[in-house]
Structures are given as C-alpha cells and as structure tokens.
Structure 1
Amino acid sequence: MRLPTILMAAALALASCGTATVPEPDMRGVAVDRNAVAKSLFGVAATGSNLPAAPYGGYSRGCVAGAQQLAETGPTWQAMRLSRNRNWAHPETIDMVQRLSRKMASHPASNGIYVGDMSQPRGGPMTSGHASHQSGLDADIWLMPATLGLSRQQREDLSAVSMRRAAGAYTNARWGSFQHELVKAAAQDPRTARIFIFPGAKVRMCAEETGNRDWLRKVRPWAGHHYHFHVRLTCPDGAEGCVNQDPPPPGDGCADAQAWVDNILNPRPAPPADPDARPAQPRGELRVADLPQACQAVLVR
C-alpha cells in the first residue's frame, strides 16, 4: 500500500506548501470496496498513509491521514500495549501527549505518564475496544503514576490500577494530587475539547479545586474510565474535513456530575417498558461507504 513515486511527490508537495487548509486526497485511481466492513481494512494497516496530516469525519465515524506514531518510549512517557499498534495519531495529539508528559514528570509521585490507546495507523473503526478514536484526535492516559523503563513485555503484562469505589461514585485511596493535576493539565491544554472520566473523580476535583475552575467544564463524567481518562481534541485549524463534537454546556458541570453520583447511590427506577414499542434495531458494522470519501484514499495511499 505504498504510494507510487509520482503520487508520493505530490503528497510531499502538499505537505510542505504551508496552506492553512489541507485539501482532500486525490481520489484518482482509488479502488476500495465501499461495502467492505471498515474495521477489517483499517485494522490491518501497519503504517500511516503517505498523505498530509488531516483528520476526516468525526471521532466515531472517520479516519486520519498522515498520522504520526508516538515513540514507544520517550524521556517522560511510555506507550503501553504495543502489540495493539494503536500509538498513532494526528500530530497535534502527539504534541499534546508529549507536553502533558513533560509537565507531569515534575510531579514528585511520578517521572512521566503511561499512554494507552490513541488511534490505528490510519484511524478508522477499530477491530475491538473503542467506537471512537477514529480521527486521530483521541488518547487514553493511564491514571496511575508512571515508572519508566518498562520492557515491551512488561507493558503488555502490567495492569492499570482502578481509582474508583462504589461503582464510580467515589474515588478510592489511590487517588491523590497526581491524578488531579494530571487531569487538570490535560484539560488546560487549549486544544482539548473534552475529557471523559468516572463521575466520582469529577465530583472530587470539583470539591478540591481552589484555583481557576474553567478547566472543569471540559471534564465530563462517563461510565468506566477509572483506570484511564480519555482526552479528546478539537479539530485543528484549517481541517475542513474534520467534524467537531458540540461544545460542553456552559458552567463547570459539577452539579451534573453530582447528579450522576446520586443516581449511582440511589438509582432512579426505570420507567415501565412500552409493550407497543418496536425493538431497537441492532447497530450494524460501519462500512467504508459510511465514512468520509477521503478515507478511501487514506486506506490505499
């Protein structure tokens, strides 16, 4: 799936032209089965495409051209679960992760961060584990402090540590200043659109934050996400083929997180089932045709 010489030269010329808007890939000569299950094609790509870096589509229905691979080991980070080959992302995401790691390396509890799943080499639907992470703008960051120097096998075997108790209504004794400052630093990056983490963590951060609270708006409670948190970036400037998520509601979101916790502790009874309701249709697999057209060129170039 390498570019022919003439196409590679054209792609490199586009990458170096310095324009704010990255054009969609040239579709001439592209032949992809549009009815194929998308994850079966994106999931086997071993390297990124030889195209200018660009996210296409949305976080759960898209792909990424010109993805970069996060180095497996850096001075302040280690990529985990290397066998999955999911340490690829848009360059802005790579930069955000590296900046975050450098900031957290100064914390007394850690000398960096562990980085979980980002995206596949060309983004797109994954063979397992995530509905999002498709456009190269999502990254999972482990909540436990990092001890760098792990071997490849250790990165496969090491278990992430849960930070929750009572089904996510509260943090446990492992939560401390490192976790608070880690999430805060990620949220304060201007490129961050949202952070997903278990509701008890959001409630605790709301209670303990004494400085500027603007960053709390980006932190949204979500089921699970107690071993890691999920960072989602906004579309980069000029990325016309990229689709942003709607911004979070105004305010710090602390009341919403508390309501989520209250419902964990005292669940509201489910409404009675409508006997006349039609059963929900099972969600089908995304096909290549369901993704932006540019993703077909991302697959083959």
Structure 2
Amino acid sequence: MARILIGLILGLALAVPAAAQPPASALFGAQKTASNQPPAAIGTYAKGCAAGLVQLPESGPTWQAMRLSRNRNWGHPETIAFIRRLSAEATRFGWRGLYVGDISQPRGGPMTSGHASHQIGLDVDIWMLPPARLNLSRAERESISSISVRSEDQRRVNGNFTRSHAAILRAAAMDRSVDRIFVTPPVKIEMCRQATRADRAWLQKIRPLYGHNTHFHVRLKCPPGERSCETQRPTVADLSGGGDGCDETLTWWVTDYLDPPKTRPGKKPDPAPKKSHPRDYTMADLPAQCRNVLAAN
C-alpha cells in the first residue's frame, strides 16, 4: 500500500507545474528503508539518489553510528566496506575505532536539512572525536558532540589535532576507493607541513573546504561498472595541477578567504546569481531512475 501511495504522489507531482511540485527532499526524507534493488549510485553526489543501499550496523567492533534519529546510516555496499576497513585501521593509531556521522538516507536523494551532497550513498562523515568507548547508548549518541580541531581564528589547527588524526586521514586517502576527503583548511596546511618529500602523492586527495572542523568528509569514487553514477569534475589531479595541493591556492583559505581584499571605492561587486539548493529540487530535477527508486519495494 505504501508503494502504491508513493506511486500516486509521484504521478501527481509530475503532472503539475514544476513550481507547484513537492520538494524531492520531502519524498526521500520520508523513506525508512532502502529499495529492494541491486546497489546503484545514481546521478551526482549533490543531485541524485541511490538504490539498494545497506544500513551500517549501529555498532561494530571498531565503530559506532551517531545521531541514529536521523536515519542517515545507509550507504552503498562499497561505502560500508570502506567504513569497516578504515575503522579497523584507526586502531593501529591508538583510537578504539571511529564515530561515524551521516552517510545517506535509505534511498539517498536530497535531505530536508543539512547536507547538499550525501545523495548517492558514497559520502560519509567521520567525527574528529576519538572514541572514548564504543558502547554508547542511543541517547548518548544524540547528546554527545564532536570536537573542533581548528583554532578560533580559523588559521591553524589547535591542540585537538594529533598525529593520530593525520595518520587516519592518510590511511583514508591511501584507500583506492576514495576520490577525495574534505577537511578544514588548517588541517590540510598542517598535513602538508608534516609530510615528507618522499610521501606526498596521497595529499592530492585531501581537499580544503570551509567548515569540516569537527569531522572529515570522505567521498568515494563511482563503483566500477555503475554507469548511472557521475564522476566528480574537476578531479583532484586537475584541482592540484597534478601536484599535492600544498601551494598558494591552499594559503588562500587562511588569507583572502578569511579577509577578502576590499573592492575599489565606488565599485560594488557584482551580485552572485542565486543557486537552487538541493532542498528545493523536485523530482523533475533528479535523474529519471530516481522515480523508480522511490516507487520500489
């Protein structure tokens, strides 16, 4: 009955003008379980959906899923396998494992709050907080918070950032399934400083981005053979000019980004065009296969 209702809603939504259609985020946010379909990442990381996702168990030998009330601990099988690998690897560097934040909704798609990406089951947030224990209750997972590894002026790491953080990030970047990892810019700067001349190629995958001071965001590559998944462009190689990304473009994040040069007197900057947020997408904005994902059992 629920599937029939979803089908009717989709039919009605597509029959009305785009401006009157319900947001896709409401439709995907209402899903409680994954679709009974072969695993598939569909579309782009910030405009798509996902079939046949797998739920990360709430607790494992080296991880715990946090904020369970969000029901965002669903991912492509490749993502779940990666979390298992990285959390086990974290124990080599003195951590008990990992606290895992948002992955995706049961069928991916736009979310009603928070992320613009995390839509195709190939993104996962890992908390910067080293787990003190891995038997947190559901209530504790709602109330506990991560830690910031960035100074208040946003120009450097603080005392919370350790060599273990750097080692875990390096291990993630060395994983062949990983496309890129978003971190707060001071973390990238510090990792560039620490890296040896002979061991730097993996730094290309460590990408500076505003925010990301309480977690790091791992983005996996499109799984082999999944033609509905769109690889992100530009690539990390393009972004870094084939290098490690430890150049003046990185310094920009703690100079001009934080203290933009003043415009010339009498000249106002051109207003940036307003972009549509994924929360505003309708089903017509998403790949056509996403309608099947919503309607599937």
SS of residue paired to 1:40: helix
- AA partner of residue 289 (structure 2): A
Cα deviation per residue 1:243-298 (whole Å; 9 max; x = unaligned)?
11021122100112223223356542256786695773462610001100000010
Who is 1:129 aligned against? 114
Distance 1:67 1:272, change over 3 A: farther
% identity of equivalent residues: 46
Q: Does the 8 Å contact 1:88/1:118 carry over to 2? A: yes
Who is 2:243 aligned against? 251
The number of residue pairs the alignment matches comes to 276
- 1:198 maps to 2:184: yes
Who is 2:253 aligned against? 260
Who is 1:33 aligned against? 13
Deviates more, 1:121-130 or 1:160-169: 160-169
Who is 2:129 aligned against? 144
SS of residue paired to 2:13: coil
Give the TM-score normalised by the residue count of structure 1.
0.86
- Whole-angstrom CA distance in 2 between matches of 1:221 and 1:278: 25
Deviates more, 1:143-152 or 1:121-130: 143-152
Q: Does the 8 Å contact 1:167/1:264 carry over to 2? A: no
Q: Does the 8 Å contact 1:180/1:205 carry over to 2? A: yes
Aligned counterpart for 1:107 among listed residues 70, 73, 93: 93
Who is 1:179 aligned against? 165
Who is 2:292 aligned against? 297
Q: Does the 8 Å contact 1:195/1:231 carry over to 2? A: yes
Give the TM-score normalised by the residue count of structure 2.
0.87
Distance 1:299 1:168, change over 3 A: same
- AA partner of residue 109 (structure 2): G
Who is 2:218 aligned against? 231
Q: Does the 8 Å contact 1:32/1:296 carry over to 2? A: no
Q: CA deviation at 1:178?
A: 1.3
- AA partner of residue 293 (structure 1): A
SS of residue paired to 1:127: coil
Who is 1:287 aligned against? 282
- Whole-angstrom CA distance in 2 between matches of 1:111 and 1:218: 25
SS of residue paired to 1:56: strand
Q: Does the 8 Å contact 2:189/2:250 carry over to 1? A: yes
Deviates more, 1:114-123 or 1:282-291: 282-291
Distance 1:282 1:195, change over 3 A: closer
- Whole-angstrom CA distance in 1 between matches of 2:69 and 2:222: 28
Q: CA deviation at 1:190?
A: 0.7
Who is 2:205 aligned against? 218
Who is 1:153 aligned against? 139
Deviates more, 1:112-121 or 1:255-264: 255-264
Cα deviation per residue 1:8-32 (whole Å; 9 max; x = unaligned)?
xxxxxxxxxxxxxxxxxxx9xx847
Distance 1:126 1:276, change over 3 A: closer
- Whole-angstrom CA distance in 1 between matches of 2:86 and 2:274: 41
- Whole-angstrom CA distance in 2 between matches of 1:207 and 1:276: 35
Q: Does the 8 Å contact 1:168/1:226 carry over to 2? A: no
- Whole-angstrom CA distance in 1 between matches of 2:137 and 2:64: 10
